[in-house]
Chains A and B, each alone.
Chain A
Amino acid sequence: MFGYVVRRVISGVLVLIVISMAVFALFFYGPSDPALAYCPETRCTPQRLDNIRTSLKLDRPVVEQYADYMKGIVAGNDFQAGTISIKCGAPCLGVSFKLRVNVTDYLISKFPATLSIALGGSVIMLTIGISSGIFAARRRGTVADKGIVGVSLVVNAIPYYLLALLAYLLLISQWGIFPESGYHPILKEGPVAWAKGLLLAWLVIGISSSTQYARFSRGSMIESMNEDYVRTARAKGLSDRRVTMRHALRAAIVPVVTIFGLEFAYLLAGTIFTEKIFDIQGIGLTGLQAIGTKDLPVIAATVLIGSAFIVVANIVVDIIYSVIDPRVRLS
């Protein structure tokens, strides 16, 4: 098991290195010039452009810049530019072109907002998704079952940004049913303000993602309810509830866990639409703004962090798998 995890971590690190190279390549060989973004349009002279290039170290070869970047991640890299000095310990993801701040610290400060969205959204999506999936599976073929499957297909067909935007415009701006959205740190402003600001974002993410869990757990549940061991459980004289929850669901939940593990990593990597629409300053919105200002260190860092979440989630899912299914042994 230990050897397995080590091997998986090593291959994960290799994946991340390749991704960081790809981001650098896209940035430097792409059609736009980052220095131009920081040169005031009206007074932009070639001299000034060169100065910007030099101060952002864009004038140096790509390979050298990349090596510098990797060195920062491993060993840290303090920056000195004129009068400004920025400390950046390992893992240093560079200094933002635009904000002149340490990107690592900057993104860490944005992370709680994204984590809050991901946690609350996941609770809602799993609760609604799995319980309606079980409900439908137990009443297969009835009106209730067809209703759940139908509604989930319709909700699934609505583009997420449209759903989120309509929810925001109608429920907050127009009718004022929900409190104004935004991120209020739970430690500073208390859990009530925290939950109030995120409530609608949670509901929108939860409900729209719950539909796939509803259909998935319904299918998985129908399959496991036809298994011989569920018949054995009934033959023992157990209650319907126990047969469903302890025997059928126990087996049906395994594939759902796999999907959820990866989905959660995607949420942590940044819920761009949600953060943008509900004005929550998380990783996703930060990354989006960095693309607008061609702020390479921030873009590279958000991509790298997102990829790291997905790599880690894959490993964690495999480990959880071996815990919840005693037949699986990692080696």
Chain B
Amino acid sequence: MSSSQTYSHAAGQPAAGSPDEPYLVVDDLTVRFPTADGLVQAVTGLSYSLEQGKTLGIVGESGSGKSVSSMAIMGLHDYKRTRMSGSIRVGGREIIGLASDDMRSIRGGDVSMIFQDPLSSLHPFYSIGAQISEAYLAHNKVSKSKAREKAIEMLDRVGIPQPKSRVDDFPHQFSGGMRQRAMIAMALVNDPKLLIADEPTTALDVTVQAQILDLLQELQHDFNSAIIIITHDLGVVAEMADEVLVMYAGRAVEVGPTRELLTHPEMPYTWGLLSSVPDVSADTDARLIPIPGNPPSLLDPPTGCPFHPRCTHRDKVPGDLCRTELPALVTAARLGHTKRCHLANPDQIYESEVLPEIAPDLVDLVVEDSAATKNDDAAPGGAIASENR
């Protein structure tokens, strides 16, 4: 099934390895984990690309494959327990099947990652400075004192006050926000061309979240790196991402430029995500509608469209199509984005049925909107209520 998937971005891509190729190209990536219970189909036929200086937001529930696909770019999966196919090219270099020594030079160098919980992601027994300089020393032949200076410089860069004395502090002496700043300093110490941020604000205080996002944007501006931000917070996506990739059950189900996708989503799962976002400033008539049911088991994913058991709009599709056939990722009714859905007129359903329920005050705006008008309110902040842990 995966070989038949094409969408507008992929179609426009230059050939593999050409100098015009975007910095990151993921092509038909499939990741599977053999377990005692069977084969976990964590990611299936995923394709996307990302240019330098741009930000891609990957959204989806837990277990939708967003972290697994990003860990694959870092080569962090245990190759003995993982089956991977497809292609991941970073700066024109194929990652899948790369020797572990070569992979190590990319990991933490050209591509680096920050994780969800900075307390558990930092080693409790080493000082912040030692952990940052270790990352620098792994990729640069310099003296330890040079690496320490670099660590102080990076701590200063990410806004840690008195970096010269804080460099010797241990992670438990830092606050949550400062720890995440230190993680960011560690990830950026080697000037990576691609930064993967796996739910970087989830474990943080709401007031700190905004600071961290601002910091990431500012650093992206300075370093011109590409960023993949993995999140289930559509507010984060609205603020950070140039493009959004919505994942469900290990597949891309909707892809497009952020504003376009958030204002004119065409896939019922994306509607579900939007309608389950609480917004303090929203119309009091707006309802918070969770997505019914649970995420599917990746051991035995549903037939046809993986979202069909939870989809409230499947009766609008003629016949048994949703249950029997996986919809291809095709260009949406509106140009510029792609979706994986059998619905014939999703744009009309969204405007007439979904929007009045979740954001009555926006109906007129969106209907009039012709993709050019400003409409930031359609992307309210907050976590998705259906997030299933």
Of B74, B108, B121, B186, the residue contacting A228 (CB under 8 A) is B121
Chain A, residue nearest B103 (CB): A237
Taking the closest CB of chain A, its distance from the CB of B210, in whole angstroms, is 24
Query: Which residue of the partner chain B has the closest CB to A232?
Result: B121
Partner-contacting stretch, out of B18-26, B84-92, B133-141, B350-358: B133-141
Distance of A116 from chain B, by nearest CB (Å): 33
Which A residues lie within 8 Å of B121 (CB)? 228-229, 231-232
Contact A227 B120, beta carbon cutoff 8 Å? yes
Once the chains bind, are A229 and B107 in contact (CB under 8 Å)? no
- The answer to whether A250 touches B125, judged by C-beta atoms less than 8 angstroms apart, is yes
Question: Is B186 touching A250 in the complex (CB atoms < 8 A)?
Answer: no
Give the distance in Å from the alpha carbon of A217 to the alpha carbon of B374 in the complex.
Answer: 59
A325 CA / B172 CA spacing, docked (Å): 11
Q: Which residues of A contact B105 (CB under 8 A)?
A: 237
Residue from B100, B120, B138 in contact with A236 in the complex, judged by beta carbons closer than 8 Å: B138
Q: Which residues of A contact B100 (CB under 8 A)?
A: 240
- For residue B129, CB closer than 8 A to chain A, the reply is no
B313 at the interface (CB under 8 A from A): no
CB pair B123–A229 under 8 Å, yes or no, is yes
Smallest CB gap from A231: residue in B: B76
**Residues 96-141 (chain B) with a chain A CB within 8 angstroms:** 100, 104-109, 112-113, 115, 117, 120-126, 134-135, 138-139
The answer to whether B123 touches A236, judged by C-beta atoms less than 8 angstroms apart, is no
Question: Closest residue of chain B to A250, judged by CB?
Answer: B125
A236: chain B residues at CB < 8 Å are 107-108, 112, 134-135, 138, 186
Q: Give the residues in chain A near B115, CB-CB below 8 Å.
A: 228, 231-232, 235
Q: How far is the CA of A326 from the CA of B169 in the complex (A)?
A: 10
Interface contact B125-A234, CB-CB below 8 Å: no
Q: Which residue of B lies closest to A326 (CB)?
A: B170
The distance in angstroms between the C-alpha atoms of A227 and B119, with both chains bound, is: 11
- Within 47-105 of B, Cβ neighbours of A (below 8 Å) are at 74, 76, 100, 104-105
Do A237 and B106 touch (CB < 8 A)?
A: yes
The answer, yes or no, to whether A324 is at the interface (CB within 8 Å) is yes
Q: Does A115 contact B (CB under 8 A)?
A: no
Q: Is the CB of B109 within 8 A of A237?
A: yes
Residue ID in chain A nearest B113 by CB atoms:
A235
A239 and B124 form a contact (CB under 8 A): no
A326–B76 touching, CB < 8 Å: no
> What is the CA–CA distance of A326 and B123 in the complex, to the nearest angstrom?
11
Tell me the bound Cα distance from A229 to B183 in angstroms: 11
**Separation of A324 and B125 alpha carbons in the complex (Å):** 8
Q: Closest CB-CB distance, B106 to chain A, in whole Å?
A: 7
Given contact pairs A231-B121, A251-B123, A327 touches B172 in the complex (Cβ within 8 A): yes
Assess whether A247 is interfacial by the CB under 8 Å rule: yes
**A-binding residues in B (CB < 8 A):** 74, 76, 100, 104-109, 112-113, 115, 117, 120-126, 134-135, 138-139, 170, 172, 183, 186
Q: Please give me the 8 A-B residue pairs with the lowest Cβ-Cβ distance, nearest first.
A: A237-B108, A228-B120, A236-B108, A237-B107, A236-B135, A229-B123, A228-B121, A326-B170
Known pairs A232-B115, A327-B172. 13 more at Cβ < 8 A? A227-B120, A229-B121, A229-B122, A232-B121, A232-B183, A234-B107, A235-B76, A237-B105, A237-B138, A237-B139, A324-B125, A326-B172, A327-B124
